[in-house]
Amino acid sequence: MSFSLKNLPERSAKPRAEGITLVLDKGYSVRQVEDLVEVCSGHIDIVKLGWGTSYVTQGLEEKIKVYQNAGIPVYFGGTLFEAYLMRNQLSDYRKLMERYDVTHVEVSNGTILLSDEKKQAIIKELSNDYTVYSEVGSKNPNEIIPPYKWVRTIQQELEAGSEKVICEARESGTVGMFRPNGEIRSGLLEEITDQISPKHLLFEAPKKEQQVWFIRKYGSNVNLGNIQPEEVIPLETLRLGLRGDTLLDFYSLEEGNELDQVIKANGMNDQE
Amino acid sequence: MSFSLKNLPERSAKPRAEGITLVLDKGYSVRQVEDLVEVCSGHIDIVKLGWGTSYVTQGLEEKIKVYQNAGIPVYFGGTLFEAYLMRNQLSDYRKLMERYDVTHVEVSNGTILLSDEKKQAIIKELSNDYTVYSEVGSKNPNEIIPPYKWVRTIQQELEAGSEKVICEARESGTVGMFRPNGEIRSGLLEEITDQISPKHLLFEAPKKEQQVWFIRKYGSNVNLGNIQPEEVIPLETLRLGLRGDTLLDFYSLEEGNELDQVIKANGMNDQE
Amino acid sequence: MSFSLKNLPERSAKPRAEGITLVLDKGYSVRQVEDLVEVCSGHIDIVKLGWGTSYVTQGLEEKIKVYQNAGIPVYFGGTLFEAYLMRNQLSDYRKLMERYDVTHVEVSNGTILLSDEKKQAIIKELSNDYTVYSEVGSKNPNEIIPPYKWVRTIQQELEAGSEKVICEARESGTVGMFRPNGEIRSGLLEEITDQISPKHLLFEAPKKEQQVWFIRKYGSNVNLGNIQPEEVIPLETLRLGLRGDTLLDFYSLEEGNELDQVIKANGMNDQE
């Protein structure tokens, strides 16, 4: 191995139960997927074909196979699930997933109103045949869900059969766990993770500042989602402390290192 | 067909007179164009090689041919037209277009000052040999053109021979129809479209919020421009109501759908 | 030549001592690099593999070779240098550079604290074997370095053996020479370039507005860095006055051009 840095943080290996990077593909071509897989397949655990993009993507079948042949599961975005559900076409949605050998399903109600009871019933039913990721939090920036309700809903959905619960942020990172300006609702996050282990959660964090926040708070192996394909490698460097933002968070000093003092005096570790 | 959603909005088919998506290419390579065409050629009606980018693009001839062979016309950005015009080199510009089999031309005065009379004379002359798109609105954020003047100028340019009139926004979406913060000047738009049918207009709308606004206001088949290549598929989902932002705008409920009530109570339709 | 505009500004040719465009690659695949080189190799002088991205890039060796075979030198980001240095592994870092035939090295202290004396000693030592680019300015937005200190540090590093000194801005363009909102600290820049020729400096300018500012201030052949790969062609048009922002800055009027008056009246030249 030509790279040989000492004392990097320990990173989980594929197939990962923790430290998942979920990529948001909003319309890549076959060759773009081949390129992505070639350059960083080891850092991608699962791919979501964003909202209804798969509906209008030419060459979808071949594209999905490239991911699957690289050992990366693919699933359709939650909004497509909602589009089928609101039309009473859930059985058609199941056929669609079978047609493309899709093994994961996102159950969400980010846009449509769907009662907690009905949502949990759907999770229960689908979890017999699929790995279910359910999503909590509205896409509507004006709909603020109080912390206790996040906690209760997440717990109920895990019990109903969700493999992980996704905490909503959208592609823009401006709703759900975040304020409209992209700032994190840290009190909300603390209340949630006080009661539910982060390993059962997957945080949508499309912006770098958000990724940095989660990695500093929950460690290198936090589960992060809605990562743009071109941000997979930059995110991996954040997890390993190989970017300025986390360089001083993840490493142990060798004994006798003369930089010891100055680094500790730097104070960047205290930015949080 | 593996996708089977009921009650999607009707979308025009190529070659489109309405519902045009105009893509802004600011320097794609041959292979990138091949990928784009492969994955979404059906959703691209015309491509603009942004401003003077074609001047410094290696392999331009082969690249243009990939678009043309896919049935997608290509033209040079209006700023290149202005660069030739201000140097008294309009005849060289015509030779350039012939050299690359370019059939469309954008006549603009976003940066240079060119009187309305002279601009219309050029439109008239060029429309004998080319399909002319003329552009209205300054690239200078400090130059605010009043609504009545937009209307009059657009009408005169259509009469002079413009196929469509482009309403300026730049790549950034912060001038012309938009305020410097990207917010839409909705009063201006209403005054324009009160007197001129949107089918004669092509709105530059590089940002998602702007695209959503136009689609909600003028329907799925509004003409939109300055769309980044990677946003073609996301835009198509907005037009079809397959993204959260427009999911509840475009669909008809099946009779007896039990979600009927809750969706109508959601209120997202009223965001506008 | 099919393009034939008169009176474009004179642009330096490769290999360039001035007018350098330094590209920031944060994880391109082999084929993406091939595409980039094909479409604009003439406008790229050097490539930086951003911070520690090379550490987690699959197929790195082949990728680097594509750049090198196109005559474009590649080097590792300064944060990787810092990651090795803080672990007392500078000799391992040298081996790494030899392993990939890397001829340039960035010496920075954007994140770690490293005294000026020690930094200059390292520059001196490395400049025996490599072309050294040293970087000045903190990545920490709260650490404001006064102008006189920028000047002194830059001068000392040039004397120590730096080929050029890079003025920090990060990928985001919000630190160092820039305020957190991306606005330029113009007084700082004026004080620096009053005493040090811009040809010895390389300004990180990831945002278009920043690029425009430097080009208007220091001319077409200013050295600019942290340019995203997809912004190389757009930047080249700015340098040549082929984009609205600089169209009226770089050209000489032909005698008798009837647009003469109106252009001068436009006032866009005065925006600065």
Query: Which domain does C254 fall in, by range?
Result: 244-272
d(CA C264, CA A52): 50
| C114 found inside a domain | yes
Does residue C16 form part of some domain?
A: no
Residues C267 and C178 in one domain: no
Looking at the structure, tell me whether residues C269 and C134 fall in a common domain: no
Does C112 sit within 8 Å of A3, measured CB to CB? no
In a domain, B197, yes or no: yes
Distance from CA of B181 to the nearest CA of C (A): 14
**Quick one: tokens of B117?**
């009379």
Residue B19, chain A, CB below 8 Å: the answer is no
* Integer Cα distance of A234 and C220 in angstroms: 31
Q: Which of the pair, A253 or C153, is modelled with greater confidence? A: C153
pTM over 0.90: yes
Residues C134 and C235 in one domain: yes
C76 and C175 belong to one structural domain: yes
Quick check: C85 contacting A, CB < 8 Å? Answer: yes
Same domain, yes or no: C80 and C171: yes
Nearest CA in chain C to B60: C39
pLDDT in tens, B164-216: 999 998 888 888 888 888 889 999 999 999 999 999 999 999 999 999 999 99
Mark whether C159 and C199 lie in a shared domain.
yes
Distance from C-alpha of B25 to C-alpha of C39, rounded to nearest angstrom: 13
Where helices occur in B8-115 by DSSP H, the ranges are 30-40, 60-69, 78-85, 90-99
Asked if residue B10 belongs to a domain, the reply is no
Asked, for residue A89, whether it belongs to a domain, the answer is: yes
Q: Are residues C32 and C139 in the same domain?
A: yes
B145: number of Cβ within 10 Å: 14
pLDDT digits (tens, 9 = 90+) for A82-139: 999 999 999 999 999 999 999 999 999 989 989 999 999 999 999 999 999 999 988 8
**Residue C252 CB: number of other CB atoms within 10 A?**
11
Instruction: Find the residue in A nearest to B230 (Cα).
Output: A27
Same domain, C270 and C183: no
- B176-B179-B185-B188 Cα dihedral, nearest 10 degrees: -40
**Which among C6, C35, C244 has the least Cβ separation from residue B139?**
C244
pLDDT score at C192: 96
Cα–Cα distance measured from residue A231 to residue A228, given in angstroms and rounded to the nearest whole number:
5
- C272 contact B CB<8A: no
- Do residues C116 and C89 make contact, with C-beta atoms less than 8 angstroms apart? no
Q: How far apart are CA B58 and CA C210, in angstroms?
A: 25
C227 and C269 part of one domain? no
Length of chain C in terms of residues written: 272
The reply to whether C46 touches chain A by the CB within 8 Å rule is no
Beta strand extents in C97-184 (DSSP E only) = 104-107, 131-136, 164-167
Please name which of B77, B80, B101 lies closest in space to residue B166, comparing C-alpha atoms: B77
Q: Is residue C84 part of a domain?
A: yes
Residue B248 has pLDDT above 70, yes or no: yes
Residue A93 sits at φ, ψ, to 5 deg, of -65, -40
CA distance C83 to A242: 7
CA angle, residues B150, B121, B133, in degrees to nearest 5: 55
Q: Is residue C59 part of a domain?
A: yes
Residue A255's pLDDT is 55
In this complex, is the C-beta atom of C68 within 8 Å of any C-beta atom belonging to chain A?
no
Contact across the interface for A244 and C111, Cβ inside 8 Å: yes
Distance (Å) from the alpha carbon of B96 to chain C's nearest alpha carbon: 6
CATH of the domain at B127: 3.20.20.70
Question: What torsion do the CA atoms of B1, B4, B8, B10 make, to the nearest 10 degrees?
Answer: 20
Q: Is residue A113 part of a domain?
A: yes
A27 and B241 within 8 Å at the Cβ level: the answer is no
Interchain proximity C40–B31, CB inside 8 Å:
no
In angstroms, the CA C266 to CA C38 distance is 38
pLDDT at C78: 96
Domain count, chain C: 2
Mean pLDDT is lowest, of A162-171, B254-263, C22-31, C67-76, for B254-263
User: Is there a single domain that holds both residue C167 and residue C229?
Assistant: yes
Reported as a pLDDT band with limits 50, 70 and 90, residue B268 is very low
- % residues pLDDT > 90 (chain A): 78
Give helix B186-195 / helix B208-218 axis angle, nearest 10°: 40
Encode pLDDT of B81-104 as tens digits: 999 999 999 999 999 999 999 999
